[in-house]
């Protein structure tokens, strides 16, 4: 069994004072919209009237998936290590956006199906050279589940120990939208047809095939475990249909929350990681800031299930933390207005009373 987490909800003791500070800024009540909600959430998480996200970090977890053998992706598996190298060389979207906003970037190999050369930005936490094809057998062993989750735990600890006060997560792994859709089907109870989307650009026939593979995989897992999906523990679900990078992200989210540090959820795959983390420890949800609603079909349904209000909606479907880094300046602005914007009293401005 993997690590147990003891996550407590942020204390409400500071809530009234936080809301008072937000409401008495020189603006009509609620005029800064979602920025006010973000400021309140961060203040509550950090137990501070001046929350700070000036030391962020982006961590991308990368892994491959055996189910790619079933033709569920438009791109071949070799693209995963190629894209990891692109991240490391500064050529990917998330790389240039992190550079733009001066956010440190780290790539963590938890299951890429290739030997990767050492690089200052690369963390080697490889569990295996890809998960197994879960349409044919369990995706991984119990020990591998634990190792993947602990990879995320260790990465979160390293960052927070270094002073990071906002974590952002991304992923890379050809086939991981299929894995995420399968996990969502198991966790939420929607049909495979409703959870499967275009991923990297499948046509309708490709999406239909993906949904069929998901259905077959879940039926296979039910037969082998002797349990219906609704009875599965988090451990069973991860072992049967999980992905190494998704579990690592979940571990990082859980540890961030345990250490009372806010984190930013990227798109569909990252949201599935949170969904899994929430099954492990429900209070983890209170530390999550949702960056955007992606173009992946099931993401809107998943966000509604999580009662999440994303900051952006830009029709993104890239993954790799791209939505999270694009939302970062707005999250930072939420802290800046709370800290620096004048109050009616300090500015000598009459309020509405």
Split at pLDDT 50, 70, 90, the class of 200 is confident
Closest CA to 58 of 251, 318, 337, 252: 252
320 is catalytic: yes
What confidence tens digit (pLDDT) does each residue in 158-173 have?
Answer: 999 999 999 999 999 9
In the set 224, 245, 320, 345, the catalytic residue is 320
DSSP state of 56: E
Tell me how far apart the alpha carbons of residues 102 and 96 are, in angstroms, rounded to a whole number: 10
- The domains found in the chain, sorted by start residue, are 56-329 (3.40.50.10210)
What confidence tens digit (pLDDT) does each residue in 22-63 have?
Answer: 999 999 999 999 999 999 999 999 999 999 999 999 999 999
Across all residues in the chain, what is the average pLDDT?
Answer: 96
The pTM of the whole model exceeds 0.85: yes
Q: Show the beta-strand stretches assigned E in the chain.
A: 56-63, 105-111, 122-124, 166-172, 263-265, 288-290
């Amino acid at each position: 069994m993997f690590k147990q987490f003891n996550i407590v909800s942020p204390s409400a003791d500071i809530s009234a004072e936080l809301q008072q500070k937000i409401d008495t800024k020189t603006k009509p009540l609620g005029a800064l919209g979602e920025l006010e909600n973000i400021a309140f959430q961060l203040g509550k998480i950090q137990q501070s009237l001046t929350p700070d996200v000036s030391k962020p970090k982006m961590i991308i977890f990368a892994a491959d998936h055996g189910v790619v053998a079933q033709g569920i992706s438009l791109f071949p598996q070799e693209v995963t290590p190629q894209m990891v190298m692109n991240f490391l060389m500064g050529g990917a979207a998330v790389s240039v956006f992190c550079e733009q906003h001066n956010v440190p970037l780290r790539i963590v190999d938890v299951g890429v199906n290739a030997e990767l050369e050492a690089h200052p930005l690369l963390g080697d936490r490889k569990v295996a050279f890809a998960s197994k094809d879960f349409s044919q057998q369990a995706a991984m062993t119990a020990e591998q589940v634990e190792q993947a989750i602990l990879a995320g735990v260790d990465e979160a600890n390293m960052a927070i120990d270094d002073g990071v006060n906002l974590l952002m997560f991304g992923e890379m792994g050809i086939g991981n939208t299929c894995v995420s859709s399968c996990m969502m089907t198991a966790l939420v109870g929607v049909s495979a047809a409703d959870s499967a989307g275009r991923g990297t650009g499948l046509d309708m026939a490709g999406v239909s095939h993906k949904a069929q593979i998901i259905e077959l995989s879940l039926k296979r897992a039910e037969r082998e475990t002797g349990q219906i999906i609704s009875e599965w523990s988090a451990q069973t679900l991860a072992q049967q249909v999980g992905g190494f990078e998704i579990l690592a992200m979940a571990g990082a989210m859980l540890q961030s929350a345990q250490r009372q540090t806010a984190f930013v959820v990227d798109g569909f795959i990252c949201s599935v990681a949170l969904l899994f983390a929430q099954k492990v420890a429900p209070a983890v949800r209170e530390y999550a800031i949702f960056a955007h609603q992606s173009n992946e079909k099931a993401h809107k349904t998943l966000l509604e299930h999580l009662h999440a209000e994303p900051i952006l909606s830009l029709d993104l479907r890239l993954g790799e933390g791209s939505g999270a880094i694009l939302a970062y300046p707005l999250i930072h602005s939420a802290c800046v207005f709370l800290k620096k914007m004048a109050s009616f009293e300090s500015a000598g401005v009459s309020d509405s009373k």
